[in-house]
Amino acid sequence: MKNNRREFIKNLGLTGIGLSIGIDGFSKNVALKKLTAATLALEINPFIIIENTGKITLVNSRPDMGQGSTQAVPSLLAEELEVSLDQVSIIQSDGRSKYGSQQSGGSSSVRGLWMPLRQAGAAAKEMLIKAAAEKWGVNAADCYAEAGKIFLKGSQKSVTYGEVADLASTYQVPKNPKLKDPKDFKIIGKYNKRLDVPDRVSGKAIYGIDAEIPGMVYAKVVHSPRIHDSIASIDDATARKVVGVLDVIKIERAMPHTKVDAVAVIAQNQWAALKGAKALTVNWKSESGKYLNQNTSEYFEAAYTAAKKPGIRAEEKGDFDAHFESAGTKLEAIYETPFLAHAAIESENATVHVKDDGSVEVWAPIQGPDGALSQVAQYLGVPEEKVKINVTLLGGSFGRKAYMDFLNEACDISRKIKKPVKVLWTKEDDIAQGPYRPAMLSRMQGVIENGRAKAFHHQAIGESIAGQVFNGLRPNTADDWLSGELSQENHQYNFEVNKVSYSRVKTSIPVVWWRSVYASNFGWGQECFIDEMAHEAKKDPLEFRLGLLKNAPRFTKVLNLLAEKADYKTPLPAGKAKGIAVFRSFDSISAACVFVSKTDNGIKIDKVVSVIDCGMFVNPDNVKAQTEGNIIMGIQAATKGGITFENNQCVQSNYHDYQVLRNSETPKMEIHIVENYERPGGVGEPGLPPIAPALGNAIFNLTGKRERKLPLGV
Amino acid sequence: MPVFNLNINNKVYKITAEADMPLVWAIRDLANLKGTKFGCGMAQCGACTVHLDGQPIRSCQMPLSALSKKAKITTIEGIAEPTLHAVQKAWIEEQVPQCGYCQSGQIMSAVALLKTNKNPNDEEILAAMEGNLCRCGTYQRINQAIKNASKML
Ligand code: FES
Ligand code: FES
């Protein structure tokens, strides 16, 4: 045990001394890199706190934005520890490094924590069993753990974990505790109701917007419509007259890669802040030197120009260009996807108190408390020990609340006014300020030979998130993160010749990850083009895919299950059609079959059948819920207008002109999960990428017209 | 500043606020009932839905000055007394919420629907729920939960 155990328990505000154990040292991956279980190492840390009063607390280290981590993460601990979740309290980690990477993102929670947290649970259980055995003077092998107690085999004897926690805490933590055989799992893989749901239906759940701190004031930040402009002058005379307005100050919006001017209206309540902001006149000085392809028309023009030139090679098997040159039957097409806003219903917000003693406390809906901790410390120039991060629930995020410019704003205001402050963005800020999913092109090329697909090239074209946000892309290099999604290893189609290339198109429109990141862009080009190749080869698209996936048993299984559940082979009556697509992302394979029909007003989506192979999973119902959400968001991405910039500013401003799917637009959805004992994959995102191409393919089958540009007219 | 005696969930709150303050802020920040949420601020998302004399309204669009003296406001906290409402039970049974942020508004719309229509058909459900956005995409479960709740009532 580490000797900071007592202090840790004290910090948590817990009573009593007991066993706290956890496992850390996992590589400090952020969403930029793929997590691999192999890089995880053992170290002690407090994920499990067993007090001698009997109270058991488990730490959820991944903020819950609706993806179910409040259940999924502690389940990994509870399974091996032999407790049920209704016996324990669950708290959210605070960003300290002892919890390892705490970023919800990249669909990484379960797949990243699968081994370390199970090991933490198993190690604690072994120590508790050993303690009970010592107490009774028996062999540990004669004891077993169940439901928070240790039992002596063949007797009535039992002790609770709390009763032996003190003794257990004196032992060395076993390095290689025995893990359960997945076949013996009682929690993982089983339907269990999420215990946080009752609070979410009764108004008791606390989101960022609900933070309430004594002495707190409210701020509305006024942003530059053209994002990068500076302030020429502020006329705040009217704003200051608004009842409740306390102050108007110049602040900055510090994004990860750039800082821009902003103005904060500080008020006694939120309404006064909003009203004050409306009454404010800010004269923005155009910083045109900072605009780069800041109109979507310019950006796309640059992208289509880039599509005429070769990109940077990311991978190549065989000589694609030579094959393409000499091929008899070849195809080429460009697919387009727009910029998209995340548009969670809870907009960006953060409450921050920069205190007189130099310490800082934060209450905010953020995806990564560890990232927030270092960001706030760095931004304010205070040591990390002086920063306390309280993560609230997130009212949706989809990638947005991992980009914490709004948190910096609250820090900047609080340090300037020396009071706790809540910053709440409006929906207009959320929609018009970005960051967005980047718009992308996929230039696809293919060669058909003797009715078979022989060569395939995917040229990805657009802004790089790593390049813009993290300034992490050297010139003339491919963005691995992006090209990895397109690699042959990922799609598994066994083309003899396969090439992936990338052309960066820079823009000053802020970009960031959006649910499923680039897979949401490139699934569209890849999977529609596979259908185009199938039609050219005069093959059924399903058969064509299965033929290319002979050496990919998991893909084959997913597609066969989809065909069965969607009754793929049965022809549909006139006026109806279906289309399929499959895409692997975040270590999971998902396929969809979308059913469409012709109506008097156009095309209607009747039904979506989705199959997911995410390896082992925690709660089948949550896998289904996440996939339903992915279908809804996938349909929005495919059919609703994206974000556009004209005159260097965003055209859209709220849900009336940036539309998300409404209830009446929901098709019937059926989700099927492939059950196996494969390593866990992601769940929160992989269901999305196949939706747009399956829909595009269905529309082609319905109308004979190949759509290559999103949004589709549905 | 004007003073309003707001009857929220059968309790009178003395609220001192500007007359043009939308009800949502009075409920959230002055009565400190945080279950009602703010989303779009322009009658697009329904996150702020509460009942005014039993009718669902968008509280972001209702200035305090427009409320009659006898107005009775019900929020998500008010339907839960003393135990959970049938709609809330159905929501739990169906595991509707993901992030849950929209769900106070969804539930208030559903409760209002079932009050006037004990057994709504699909079209009636869609018509009543169309103004409530859920970015997480829980609509299929919402509609199923409403049907289940109608059987419990
Ligand atoms: S906040 Fe009132 S309808 Fe969206
Ligand atoms: S559950 Fe997240 S917005 Fe509806």
**CATH code of B48's domain:** 3.10.20.30
What CA–CA distance (Å, rounded) separates A264 from A219? 6
**How much is the pLDDT for A171?**
87
**How much is the pLDDT for A25?**
29
Query: How many separate domains does chain B show?
Result: 2
Mean pLDDT of A452-459: 97
Q: Where are the beta strands (DSSP E) in A371-483?
A: 387-391, 421-424, 440-449, 452-462
Contact A369, A672 (CB under 8 A): no
Residues forming beta bridges with residue B58, ordered by sequence position: B49
B103 plus B48 within the same structural domain: no
Intra-chain end-to-end CA distance of chain A, in Å: 60
B95 CA: distance to closest CA in chain A (Å): 7
Intra-chain end-to-end CA distance of chain B, in Å: 44
Contact A251, A412 (CB under 8 A): yes
Mean pLDDT of A450-463: 96
Q: Is residue B122 within 8 angstroms of chain A, CB to CB?
A: no
Nearest to A696 by CA among A612, A637, A644, A643: A637
Q: What is the pLDDT of residues B105-141, one digit of tens each?
A: 999 999 999 999 999 999 999 999 999 999 999 999 9
What CA–CA distance (Å, rounded) separates A200 from A211? 16
Q: Select from B1, B15, B40 the residue whose CB has the most chain A CBs within 10 Å, as the one to mutate to test that interface.
A: B40
Please identify, among B23, B53, B79, the residue that sits at the C-terminal boundary of a domain.
Answer: B79
A279 CA: distance to closest CA in chain B (Å): 14
Q: How far is the CA of A629 from the centre of ligand 2 (A)?
A: 9
What CA–CA distance (Å, rounded) separates B76 from B109? 10
Q: Select from A201, A213, A351, A622 the residue whose CB has the most chain B CBs within 10 Å, as the one to mutate to test that interface.
A: A201
Six-digit token pair at B79?
Answer: 């339907």
B32 plus B44 within the same structural domain: yes
Q: Using a CB-CB distance cutoff of 8 angstroms, which residues of chain A are in contact with residue B96?
A: 197, 201
A259's CB contacts (< 8 A; 6+ apart) are A252, A253
B15 plus B70 within the same structural domain: yes
Six-digit token pair at A304?
Answer: 């289509």
Q: Which residue has the tokens 């819950």?
A: A64
**How much is the pLDDT for B81?**
65
Domains delineated in chain A: 5-202 (3.30.365.10), 208-289+348-424 (3.30.365.10), 296-340+436-703 (3.30.365.10)
Nearest to A652 by CA among B58, B38, B132, B40: B40
Q: What is the pLDDT of residues A191-227, one digit of tens each?
A: 999 999 999 999 999 999 999 999 999 999 999 999 9
**How much is the pLDDT for A274?**
98
A534 φ, ψ (degrees, to nearest 5): -60, -45
A501 HSE (CA, 13 A, CB side): 22
Residues of chain A numbered 194-223 and touching chain B (CB < 8 Å): 194, 197-207, 209-210, 212, 218
Mean pLDDT of A417-423: 98
Q: What is the reported pTM?
A: 0.94
Q: Using a CB-CB distance cutoff of 8 angstroms, which residues of chain A are in contact with residue B18?
A: 243-244, 271-272, 275
A262, pLDDT greater than 80:
yes
Nearest to A209 by CA among B37, B151, B16: B37
Q: Using a CB-CB distance cutoff of 8 angstroms, which residues of chain A are in contact with residue B31?
A: none
Whether the bond between A573 and the residue before it is cis, its omega within 30 degrees of 0, is no
A67, pLDDT greater than 80:
yes
B65 plus B35 within the same structural domain: yes
Q: What is the pLDDT of residues A332-385, one digit of tens each?
A: 999 999 999 999 999 999 999 999 999 999 999 999 999 999 999 999 999 999
Amino acid identity, position A227: I
A167 CA: distance to closest CA in chain B (Å): 40
A138-142, A257-261, A395-399, A478-482: range with lowest mean pLDDT:
A478-482
How far are the Cα atoms of A440, A544, A610 from residue A564, in angstroms, in the given order? 34, 17, 11
B56 plus B102 within the same structural domain: no
* Structural domain boundaries, residue B91: 83-152
B95 plus B43 within the same structural domain: no
ipTM > 0.90 for the complex? yes
* Degrees, nearest 5: CA angle A240-A243-A247: 35
DSSP state of A709: B
Q: How far is the CA of B102 from the centre of ligand 2 (A)?
A: 5
Mean pLDDT of chain B: 97
A457, pLDDT greater than 80:
yes
Six-digit token pair at A651?
Answer: 């055209």
User: Counting ligands in written order, which one lies closest to the CA of residue B132?
Assistant: 1
Q: What is the pLDDT of residues A502-515, one digit of tens each?
A: 999 999 999 999 99
Q: Using a CB-CB distance cutoff of 8 angstroms, which residues of chain A are in contact with residue B44?
A: 427, 654-656
Mean pLDDT of A125-134: 95
Taking an 8 Å cut-off on Cβ atoms, the answer to whether A396 and B136 are in contact is yes
B114 plus B128 within the same structural domain: yes
Q: Is residue A427 within 8 angstroms of chain B, CB to CB?
A: yes
Q: How far is the CA of A451 from the centre of ligand 2 (A)?
A: 47
A69's CB contacts (< 8 A; 6+ apart) are A60, A62, A63, A104, A109
Q: What is the pLDDT of residues A476-501, one digit of tens each?
A: 899 988 888 999 999 999 999 999 99
Please identify, among B79, B105, B134, the residue that sits at the C-terminal boundary of a domain.
Answer: B79
Six-digit token pair at A457?
Answer: 């090239």
A41, pLDDT greater than 60:
no
Taking an 8 Å cut-off on Cβ atoms, the answer to whether B98 and A626 are in contact is yes
CATH number at residue B132: 1.10.150.120
A37, pLDDT greater than 60:
no
B69 plus B87 within the same structural domain: no
Contact A332, A444 (CB under 8 A): yes
Q: With helix as H, strand as E and coil as C, how does chain B read?
A: CCEEEEEECCEEEEEECCCCCEHHHHHHHHCCCCCCCCCCCCCCCCCCEEEECCEEEEHHHCEHHHCCCCCEEECHHHHCCCCCCHHHHHHHHCCCCCCCCCHHHHHHHHHHHHHHCCCCCHHHHHHHHCCCCCCCCCHHHHHHHHHHHHHHC
Please identify, among B60, B79, B98, the residue that sits at the C-terminal boundary of a domain.
Answer: B79
Q: How far is the CA of A89 from the centre of ligand 1 (A)?
A: 34
B64 plus B124 within the same structural domain: no
B104 plus B64 within the same structural domain: no
Q: CA nearest B133 in A: which residue?
A: A662
* Degrees, nearest 5: CA angle A641-A647-A648: 80
A34, pLDDT greater than 50:
no
Q: Select from A274, A663, A666 the residue whose CB has the most chain B CBs within 10 Å, as the one to mutate to test that interface.
A: A663
Q: How many CB atoms lie within 10 A of CB A204?
A: 14
A16, pLDDT greater than 70:
no
Residues of chain B numbered 11-70 and touching chain A (CB < 8 Å): 17-18, 20-22, 25, 28-30, 32-42, 44-45, 47
Q: How many CB atoms lie within 10 A of CB A376?
A: 28
How many A/B residue pairs have CB atoms within 8 Å?
184
Q: How confident is the model at residue B82 (pLDDT cuts 50, 70, 90)?
A: confident
B59 plus B71 within the same structural domain: yes
A646's CB contacts (< 8 A; 6+ apart) are A295, A296, A297
B141 plus B73 within the same structural domain: no
Q: How far is the CA of B105 from the centre of ligand 2 (A)?
A: 10
Sign of the alpha-carbon torsion through B116, B122, B125, B130: negative
Q: What is the pLDDT of residues A556-583, one digit of tens each?
A: 999 999 999 999 999 999 999 999 999 9
